Amino acid sequence: MTLKEFKEHFFKRLSPLYPAQELESFFRILMETYLGLSSIDVHLNPDKKIKLKKLDHLLAALERLVHFEPLQYILGQTEFYGLHFTLNPNVLIPRPETEELVEWILKDTDAGAHFNILDIGTGSGCIAVSLAKYLPLASVAALDVSEDALTLSAHNAELNNAEVHFLQQNILETKALQKSYDIIVSNPPYVRNLEKTEIEVNVLDYEPHLALFVEDHDALIFYRKIAELAKGALSPKGRLYVEINQYLAEETQVLFKEFGFNEVELRNDFAGKPRMIKASL
């Protein structure tokens, strides 16, 4: 099959399922990843034959897209804050709003100073690894309840040459943190079951529910625990950063204030939705 023939087949098969712009982006990424070809290469060489083994990969990827599997899982990789991360379905796909949370921390933090940092619910390790990479003097620890997530996050730390100390720990069963931290950060599960109707098939069917969902009747369970633990473990000028559920921004702010956090700052993400909080005691 030639590049032109594959392109026609790809768009014919997927056009009923995805918006045109998204398909263009999928096609470009697949060409770059599997064939090492830019959009211009593809455009200038329509009759170039695709080698059989590569074609098998491309056709398999196309079939997975037909079933709405996220492209990041198909490729087994993604980018986060300019770094490469290996991905598998045991971990959440890192989101752009989480990059904004990392950006907030980096802007607030002197890269030339030493800090103790803890990332709660590290998943792919995207937050912990980025902080370790961009704050080279910091000591970064990260925890998750999922052993599979920790295997992957440790691999991602190695891949990026970043030093992170990983721990398997259930935060909800943790009575106190053993160390003091200057920065505690978390993007915990926060999607209520009642919000499932808003969630796209590719998220609902493929991403780990352990990473996403909380019970409707106790949606802030992780924030309550994080506030309690951070209160006992933040250093005097320490800061807590969390990603939040946009529909529960006010309640989450109030929760931190009730736990005695004096400064609680809410921020919107790039889409203008209230999605992150910084709190200090």
Q: Which residues here bind ligand SAM, judged by CB under 6 A?
A: 91-92, 94, 98, 121-124, 126-127, 144-146, 149, 170-172, 187-189, 210-211
Q: Which two tokens stand for residue 208?
A: 């780990």
Question: Measured from the CB of residue 275, what is the shortest distance to ligand SAM in angstroms?
Answer: 12
d(CA 244, CA 266): 10
Taking the least distance from each CB to ligand SAM, the nearer of 188 and 238 is 188
Q: How far is CA 82 from CA 40, 85, 131, in A?
A: 23, 10, 12
Closest contact distance (angstroms) between CB of 31 and ligand SAM is: 27
CB of 189 to ligand SAM, least distance (A): 5
Q: What angle do CA 232, 245, 204 make, to 5 degrees?
A: 120
Please answer whether residues 118 and 177 qualify as being in contact, where contact means their C-beta atoms are separated by less than 8 angstroms. yes
| Residue whose CB is less far from ligand SAM, 37 or 72 | 72
Q: Smallest gap, in angstroms, from Cβ of residue 125 to ligand SAM?
A: 8
Closer CB to ligand SAM, residue 146 or residue 160?
A: 146
Taking the C-alpha atoms of residue 142 and residue 144, their distance in angstroms, rounded to an integer, is 7
Q: Which is nearer to ligand SAM, 74 or 129 (CB)?
A: 129
Can you tell me the distance from the alpha carbon of 228 to that of 149, in angstroms, rounded to the nearest whole number? 24
Which C-beta is closer to ligand SAM: that of 189 or that of 274?
A: 189
- Which residue, 58, 98, 59, 56, is CA-closest to 81? 98
Question: CB atoms < 10 A from the CB of 19, how many?
Answer: 9
- Cβ 73 to ligand SAM shortest distance, Å: 14
In this complex, which beta carbon is closest to ligand SAM, that of residue 189 or of residue 238?
A: 189
> Measured from the CB of residue 128, what is the shortest distance to ligand SAM in angstroms?
8
